[in-house]
Amino acid sequence: MHEDAQRRGRGHGGQPGETLIVEIGKLDPSEERALADEGFDPDEESGGLLRWLQKWYRRQCDGEWKHQYGVRIDTLDNPGWSVKIDLTGTALEGRTVDWVRHEISEADWVYYRLKDDTFDAAGGPTNLVSILRAFRSLVEQSAS
């Protein structure tokens, strides 16, 4: 098992300083049913979108970029999501897009822009996928 999968700490009855091994694998059938009941499909686009973001990020990590730049996903207190992605050294470097706003309701909204070599976005509590989809669209447009 990779070292990064090991964490020190307390949890699941462990003692302080005990190494806990976290394995990432399939959900048990009851967890899969519970998620399906909530409308979650792990093969849906959101999973593909995260795999795409991981590949995009990996392509940027070919030199100094990974030491100075990156992808930050955070939460907002209103509630919602904030995403900032550094674009220096990428195909979107130097591009500018004024604020794009999609407002459907008080809880369903997405704002994003490209400014100062940064993708800057925010959205409602269920709009993280929409934010990442907007970023992917901008990257794909810049490649064509």
The pLDDT tens digits of the residues spanning 5-56 come to 333 333 344 455 555 454 445 555 666 666 666 665 555 556 788 899 989 9
| Range(s) of the domain holding residue 113 | 45-143
61 and 28, same structural domain? Answer: no
31 and 97, same structural domain? Answer: no
69 and 25, same structural domain? Answer: no
Q: How many domains are contained in the chain?
A: 2
56 and 30, same structural domain? Answer: no
138 and 73, same structural domain? Answer: yes
Instruction: Look at residue 86 in the predicted model and tell me its pLDDT.
Output: 92
4 and 52, same structural domain? Answer: no
Judge contact between 70 and 87, C-beta under 8 A. Answer: no
Give, in degrees to the nearest 5, the angle at Cα 85 between 83 and 89: 175
Give the model confidence (pLDDT) of 108-139 as tens digits: 999 999 999 999 999 999 999 999 999 999 99
pTM (whole model) above 0.85: no
90 and 73, same structural domain? Answer: yes
